Amino acid sequence: MRQLSLTLSLTFLLAAQGLSFAADDTKPGQSTVAADRVACSLQPKAVEPSDPSSTSAIPHIEKFVAKEHFKEDIASSAPVKISWLGATFAKRFANMVEDDAGGASLQSYDLSGTSADNEILAKLGQGHESRLADIWCALKQQPNGSSGSLEISSKPNVFYVRDIAGELAAVDVLWGGVGWEIGASPVSDKPRWPAGTRVFSR
């Protein structure tokens, strides 16, 4: 179940040339960007040990296999309705296997102006990278495009994830009406994400 914390007291601004941080959000003429943190976990409950003499629970850790989750399927029985997977996403991420499918706490930021990946990454700093498991976890909370932490208007949701070659890519997730559309592209220094884009980081 989706858990959203209260809006953080620290707010973020997006200047004409990218994200900027502000300690004072009361200055006139500045538009603040709400920042929400969402807790998400794919980790099943701890498995009790078979040895009755042990008092600690053993967490069941599984690998996250991308191709078992990210596939086009808009049937009512689909765990997440996905109407389109881009060729670049398939090439760079279909064969990914992540060792840890555990939970994550993701921070979201709504851009208030057009920005480039490099500008966003520079402002996000360390911890900007997400995993495919994080994206899937967020999708699982909104499998049919219901409201939640992911934007469901015409604006994209952007995650920065390392592909199977270890290169950082921008993965964009967009609700297309009947299912989620998921693409990937190289990190760019050209402004391409419009105002209203929701960016996620760990």
The DSSP result for 37-81, as a single string, is EEEE--PPPPBPPS-TT--SPBP----EEGGGT---B-STT-SS-
Helix (H, G, I), strand (E, B) or coil at 88: helix
Could you tell me where the DSSP H helices lie in the chain? Answer: 87-93, 117-124, 132-141
Q: What's the pLDDT score for residue 162? A: 97
Q: What's the pLDDT score for residue 36? A: 59
Task: Give pLDDT tens digits along the chain (202 positions).
Answer: 333 332 222 233 333 333 433 222 222 222 224 455 566 654 433 333 333 333 333 344 578 999 999 999 999 999 999 999 999 999 999 999 998 766 678 899 999 999 999 999 998 988 789 999 999 999 999 999 999 999 999 999 999 999 999 999 999 999 999 999 999 999 999 999 999 999 999 8
Q: What's the CA gap between 83 and 196, in Å, rounded?
A: 22
User: Which two structure tokens, joined as six digits, stand for 123?
Assistant: 């402002």
Gyration radius of the chain's alpha carbons: 18
Q: What's the CA gap between 82 and 42, in Å, rounded?
A: 18
Buried b (16+ CB within 10 A) or exposed e, 168-185: ebbbbbbbbeebbbbbbb
Helix (H, G, I), strand (E, B) or coil at 151: coil
Q: What's the pLDDT score for residue 100? A: 73
Kindly list the distances between the CA atom of residue 163 and the CA atoms of 174, 175, 181, in Å, as whole numbers in the listed order.
Answer: 19, 22, 18
Kindly list the distances between the CA atom of residue 17 and the CA atoms of 22, 47, 110, 125, 173, in Å, as whole numbers in the listed order.
Answer: 15, 49, 15, 16, 23
Instruction: Tell me which amino acid residue 51 is.
Output: D
Q: What's the pLDDT score for residue 102? A: 67
User: Which two structure tokens, joined as six digits, stand for 168?
Assistant: 């950082």
Domain ranges of the chain: 3-43+59-201
